[in-house]
Structure 1
């Protein structure tokens, strides 16, 4: 069985975590697979600035929203010597089957297709968001015909107002809504972006919160009504675990006042640990990233949508609201943060999720 190559990016976690979920579930089906992260193929000084940008965008969401409107030619950042080594390895191993989650990989796929012939390749461009996100829009500006060479596949389709596939996170049963504690998971995606910081004061008057924070200075950790969670700031998506040679889910753990963070370093994890909070929550309060839609559908947890990062995320929110799976924060606030508005959203998610085909099952059927 040929090795499947999943082309991801660690710039944010929205592509990275779905890539690892795919990898884990294909491994469980005895399918040889490897995740390759784009940031390992950009020049060192550009890679070194990622952490700086991440912090700037966390602190200034308006700046992040402006930046995503300006497509850049990522080829200016590519380390073509490293790419040459990668392509030689692919050629020696006769790699033919690829799933690309980030548009940045188009340039490298095109280079490879020139070597081995486009007809020899089986490439799926897997869109996690319900319309093109910035990395795809950026490459379309410079290579407008890329989609004519490769197969496109949406998980969620805003244009046709439908879910095409679900991507399961675990094989555990859905936690019944009535047995879930009165807690909400609040996060800003992998970079802690968005308006969630500003909502905590009014939310905490109503409910206890599981807050996914970017830095310990974001909140007063002495408020023991809430729980605080954080990704280990020393962890980077493009680094592999030396003992397994594979990329790992983020080291994630609870942060308590006066105690060192207890980050979980489970190299054999099959899913991201934030999901363990979301599957128990009454709702997810977040900006509408595509990966959050995956989590919502997998756990049957409604999303209360905060401000979108860009048009693609707004389309995500509009789709989820149209399908009866989510609600805008303002609408929920106007209803005095009513749980009665959320219960039907959970029920719709729980009732409909299995009607959507499982992407990995469909993919594995194709492989067979």
Structure 2
């Protein structure tokens, strides 16, 4: 039994964890997924939801919160910890794969009593905030990295069996989003890109935020990572031709994605570029679709390192650099070509977990 341990407050790590679990099951492994927030008291979980709203209003809240936030493990009751440990024992967990450093603190005492293989997976190029807080816990854990600031991609999680869509078959659309929690400057940048005449697929935080100058999508409001082990489902939404906030005709869902084919990934696969802050999940999408990144303001030093790495490898441009050349489409194809085949170079994390 392999237990994949994630956190729903960081979809850039949660989604790679879900993808890993999916691929492991396809290889015949027995896998369970646990999300940190499922074990929190109701009032603490409500605070998480409210934090998301604040973060969407101003990226500066995100950066500040990384330095000031309390450890969520402080809110775990002894009863919740005991129940979690019984669950692991009853399921016969032989390997833990951790996607949030906060889990290492929870695992520390358990591993002291029941030594169990523990693999800490880092989706960012440097130590992320949750792992920074966990340095002294679970000292025997193996650490694997999907990206390193030294310019290497040591490991990867296989996202797709299909080859990337050829450049000549892409229609020049841009996928614009603010990561899993829809934060940052992406909507302002989307408006600038639309004014430049570029066709956009825009992921908005809620259906009422849809605009007429882009093809809009939003996360299904009924989906929450602490209630559902499925990949985040997108809904396509429509709006009238203006983006006036006082529109009397609110946007509404008009379609759902095909099960097993997450729409956000399909949009990235067919795009000419992803315009986003450089979260770990976005790097993985870029790598496996061979779709260049246009980098927006990062949410913290770990995302800044991700952006530097992607530029160093020739996979990305900053938004300002692309804007300075009037969003010239010919600047994108060399990035796509640099990405082609790059996903085949790192070691496959499935093999690292399933090979004795």
2:136 counterpart of 1:138: no
Alpha-carbon RMSD? 1.7
2:134 counterpart of 1:152: no
Aligned match of 1:321 in 308, 311, 322? Answer: 311
1:115 aligns with: 113
2:217 aligns with: 229
| 8 Å CA contact retained: 2:257, 2:263 | no
Larger deviation: 274-283 or 354-363? 354-363
Map 1:279-358 onto structure 2 (within 5 A): 279-358=269-348
Question: TM-score normalised to the size of structure 1?
Answer: 0.89
Tell me how far 1:323 sits from its aligned partner.
0.6
* Distance in 2 separating the partners of 1:134 and 1:100: 14
| 8 Å CA contact retained: 2:207, 2:253 | no
Deviation string, structure 1 residues 139-188 (Cα, Å, up to 9, x no partner): 33xxxx23632111111011x22111222222112100111011100000
* Distance in 1 separating the partners of 2:13 and 2:160: 18
1:125 aligns with: 120
Tell me how far 1:71 sits from its aligned partner.
4.8
1:206 aligns with: 197
Tell me how far 1:132 sits from its aligned partner.
1.1
| 8 Å CA contact retained: 1:278, 1:299 | yes
2:161 counterpart of 1:163: no
Question: TM-score normalised to the size of structure 2?
Answer: 0.92
Deviation string, structure 1 residues 286-323 (Cα, Å, up to 9, x no partner): 00101100000000000000000000000000001001
Q: In the comparison of the two structures, how many residue pairs are matched?
A: 345
Aligned match of 2:33 in 10, 30, 35? Answer: 35
2:206 counterpart of 1:218: no
| 8 Å CA contact retained: 1:167, 1:298 | no
Aligned match of 1:253 in 235, 241, 257? Answer: 235
Residue 216 of structure 2 aligns to a residue in which SS?
A: strand
Tell me how far 1:265 sits from its aligned partner.
7.0
Deviation string, structure 1 residues 105-134 (Cα, Å, up to 9, x no partner): 012111211332xxx310000001111111
1:239 aligns with: 227
* Distance in 2 separating the partners of 1:92 and 1:114: 18
Tell me how far 1:237 sits from its aligned partner.
0.5
* Distance in 2 separating the partners of 1:273 and 1:211: 12
2:73 counterpart of 1:75: yes
